[in-house]
Structure 1
Amino acid sequence: MLYANQSQALNVTTKQQYQGLLERVVFSTLIGMPCCLCLFINGTMLFTLRSKAVFCETSRYILLYNLLFADTVMLGLSELLYIMAACRIFPTYPVCGVFIMLNKLTNEISPLTLVVMCMERYVAVCYPLRHATIITVRNTAVAIIVVWAFSSLNVLIRVLLLLNFLFDQPQSLQMTDVCSGTVMILGPMSNIYDKAYTGFVFVSAGVAVTCSYVGVMVAARSASTDKASAHKARNTLLLHMMQLGLTLLSTIHDPIVVSLSTILQRLLIVRIKHFSYVFIYILPRCLSSLIYGLRDQTIRPILMYYLCCRLSHLSKHI
């Protein structure tokens, strides 16, 4: 009787392990395919933005390149962390810290760059005569440097908090869980700083984009404003607001997961992470290419040319 119970328990355990492995394989395939597609499109878009001189000499295209570069690096790092989690690879805290800090750096570049892009559209509509003198290549480069410097300062503070934890507990370098942003919130100081910075970026970016949109709406009703240009800028800002909302959700994703982990089962939390990864991390990183690649009359023909040529080239080798 005892042997029968042990055999039944072993069969149940084996079945659960098989189902868990099958679920990881299915989710990894379903998530990996759109991620690779987005990386391919973003990579082609980055190549397109360096293929013509007009893209290198126009401020909004320079900002778009910076946004796409950060999104592409962030998407690649996120996919690497996802593969490590699916394969149950547990690195040490320093190794995980490097991946997470680079991921956070590129993740926080996106909302700040979107704010600068919205302000550029605001100046283009509300101050068209001064746009060429305000939005220059030099000023754009300065804005990009400020964005990277501000994000790097945030990462530096996080690194100092991480080093403080490592020096306090040198025996706990080996991780016992998957490498993610939630497990890298070490100690109360790290948690408080993460919430404070996330709230600051969320509120500041939201206010800046909303004010830009309101300014464009007011200018669109003015008789001296180009109606077509204002209408296009308004639609672009609406898309940027949606994109910014999805991007900012990724900044509050970790605190939400931490809160849910206290009331939900681990398996349910893992499934929530799978779906949130697609809609919060992958989808916003594809919107930039779609918004500009399909709507911009200067980029679209060149982008479609490179995409079609590469796809036809791949099909010849299949």
Structure 2
Amino acid sequence: MVNLSTVYSNVTQGLILDNTTEIIRVTVLILIVLSFTVFYHWLAMILHVYLTSPNLQEMARYVLFIHMLVNDTLYLLISFFMFVSSVYLLYMPVPVCYALSTFTTSSFRITPYNLAIMSVERYIAICYPLRHGETCNVRWCNYMIVLMWALGLVPIAVDFIAMNFSVSRDFYSLYMICNWLSFSKNEVQSTIRSLVLILSFSMVGLIIGYTYIKVMMVALKISSSKSSAFKAGKTVLLHAFQLFLCITSFSSTFTDMYLRKNYAFVPSVNFFFFMCLPRFISPLIYGIRDNVFRKYTQNIFTPICLKGP
């Protein structure tokens, strides 16, 4: 009788935990969908302003900002699809999963690179204003975008070569639950990934720190809180904050490692707070701070009766 009671208690407790986990997962999914709705509404407004303003399309800061915004949008879409497929155990062909994982991994690295280039553009605008027009043009932006994607894809190519030494010939004909960690087959790959992430974020951090110091030195010489140099310094500081938000995503690795065994809903919470939320917040903050986007937003949300004839 005691044994049956114990078994019944364990089963009941397991069902409660399963129900709690599923409730939390569904809640997180609803939060993500609501956040996506707000994010894509804001994205549509920004793109509308950008595409209907030829002068903005010729300015480096806006070209780079739109590139970052589109990159983050694609990253969120594909990451969300991979997240749902992994949570609900959806199997897909290995080549398809690898292609999706390759894009999300590269896209994840592109955002910090984009922030660094945007900081460099502000640095040139303030410290070398006479050279800004001829240096930071659309062609320069295109070169920088190509460089960013090259830096994001080259490590993937090296990782792919290293992985193929440890997989069988029929590996690419299999089906799997899509997760980038599933393609980590040897220590060489782990070393490459760690080095790339450390070097990438260290390099970006140094660039943003250097440009911020240089811009603020110019701002202090001008001694005006309303000067363009002070505004540029605040912009670079915002880029540092955005970089910090990107770095917080690494904490999900540790929480997954230590808490997932006891709390099955941890991956869902991590995905929302560490993967999605930083990319939802960053473009919103940057867009609201910009005078052009802010004026357009105010015109949309100002009641017609208050606009006057």
TM range, smaller chain: 0.7 to 0.9
Alignment of 1:87-236 (within 5 A): 87-167=88-168, 170=171, 173-175=174-176, 178-223=177-222, 228-236=227-235
Q: Which amino acid aligns with 2:294?
A: R
Distance 1:171 1:204, change over 3 A: closer
Which structure 1 segments of 5+ residues have no match?
Answer: 313-318
Conserved in 2, the CA contact under 8 Å of 1:213 and 1:237? yes
Where does residue 315 of structure 1 map in the other structure? none
CA–CA distance in 2 between the matches of 1:304 and 1:166? 56
Alignment match of 2:270 (pick from 269, 272, 276): 276
Instruction: Give aligned-pair identity as a percent.
Output: 25
Q: Report if the CA contact (8 A) 2:119-2:239 is conserved.
A: yes
Deviations 1:180-208 (A, max 9, x none): 33333322111111101011101100101
Where does residue 286 of structure 1 map in the other structure? 280
SS in 2 for 1:129: helix
In 1: Cα distance, 2:246 partner to 2:260 partner: 26
SS across alignment from 1:130: helix
Distance of 2:19 and 2:173 partners within structure 1: 31
Q: Alpha-carbon deviation of 1:84?
A: 1.6
Change beyond 3 A, Cα 1:200–1:133: same
The TM-score, its normalising length taken from structure 2, stands at 0.85
1:40–1:82 CA distance, 2 compared to 1 (3 A): farther
Q: In structure 2, do the counterparts of structure 1 residues 10 and 296 end up closer, same or farther at CA, with 3 Å as the change threshold?
A: closer
In 1, Cα distance between the equivalents of 2:226 and 2:24? 52
Q: Which residue of 1 aligns with 2:261?
A: 266
Cα distance change of structure 1 residues 202 and 219 upon mapping to structure 2, 3 Å threshold: same
Deviates more, 1:286-295 or 1:113-122: 286-295
Please report the TM-score for the alignment, with normalisation by the length of structure 1: 0.83
Superposition deviation, residue 301 in structure 1? 2.6
Q: Whole-Å Cα distance in 2 between the matches of residues 264 and 185 of structure 1? A: 21
Q: Which residue identity does 1:239 align to in structure 2?
A: L
Shift in Å, 1:171: 9.3
In structure 1, how many angstroms separate the alpha carbons of the residues matched to 2:298 and 2:166? 49
Corresponding residue SS for 2:55: helix
TM superposition shift of 1:172 = 9.5
* Coordinate RMSD, CA, aligned: 3.0
CA contact (8 A) 1:59 1:135 kept: yes
1:189-243 deviation digits (Å, cap 9, x = unpaired): 1111110101110110010100000101111122499961011011111111000
